[in-house]
Amino acid sequence: MEDINRFFSKKNTVENVSENELYKSGDYLNVIKAFSRITYKSIYVIDYQKKTFEYVSENPLFLCNHTPQEVEAMGYAFYFRHVTKDDLELLFKINEIGFDFYEKLPVEERMLYTISYDFHIVNESKNAVLINHKLTPLFLSPDGKMWKAMCIVSLSHNYTSGNISIFKQGADDLWKYNIQEEKWVKEEKIKLSERESEILRLYAQGLTINEIASKIFVTADTVKFHRRKLFDKLGVNNITEALSYATNYKLL
């Protein structure tokens, strides 16, 4: 039997929201809707007080052939319908460990944190797609509980589910969750060299290896050398994955 409460934590129970908090939220959805019109990524908003989706964008990646209105109406039942059993259990686990981590943060810093993870969604054609899911707070209750959160969905550059990490805006490190050892591990964020960043930006502009070499006054073999070092550093296999990784982790 579906139990959407497994997606929610007792540590983040939002019972009441003050009139002041309601006023501050205002017409924020107009900003979210505008953002959704200029990005290829799917966006939706969770209301933790009502335990519903408050908004779902029209971007098709997350919809699994449903309309945004249908996904809004389904709410968390959408996951029971379109996420594999193993990944559904993974989502329950992420909910548990995520809010355990969040509860230990200073209230004044909680808005600065984002959690990222990968899982499969299965569309109506029974095709499983690995997506990356990022969640960050939009509004907090007066006692620091997460009242509303924005989620951004994109294609994952990884090959398996999981890859759970939490990072803070402006920080030089991040936390990755080791599922086998069931603990968070602090790591320093990957830093790109000036040359690696330059080559990635030129690839993003659609330039070929020879064009990049000409533009930065090196040989094509030198570009390939830096590209291979970049792949090894990021743990990816091709330039598409490298660009996805750099975008997801804000390395450019």
> pLDDT, tens digit, for every residue of 91-130?
999 999 999 999 999 999 999 999 999 999 998 778 899 9
Residue 228 and residue 242 in contact, taking contact as beta carbons nearer than 8 Å: no
- Going by C-beta distance under 8 Å and a sequence separation of 6 or more, which residues neighbour residue 63? 42, 56, 71
Q: Is the pLDDT of residue 1 over 50?
A: no
Which superfamily, per CATH, for 4-188?
PAS domain (3.30.450.20)
Give the tens place of pLDDT for each residue, 54-98: 999 998 888 998 999 999 999 999 999 999 989 999 999 999 999
Element (H, E) at 17: none
Question: What's the CA gap between 177 and 173, in Å, rounded?
Answer: 13
- pLDDT reading at 183 higher than 60: yes
Type of residue at 72: E
**Of 8, 1, 16, 46, the residue nearest 153 (C-alpha):** 46
Spatial separation of the C-alpha atoms in residues 24 and 199, rounded to whole Å: 43
Inter-CA distances, 93 with 9, 24, 90, 164, Å: 11, 32, 5, 11
Q: Is the pLDDT of residue 223 over 90?
A: yes
The pLDDT of residue 10: 76
Domain boundaries, the chain: 4-188, 194-248
| CATH number belonging to domain 194-248 | 1.10.10.10
pTM of the model: 0.83
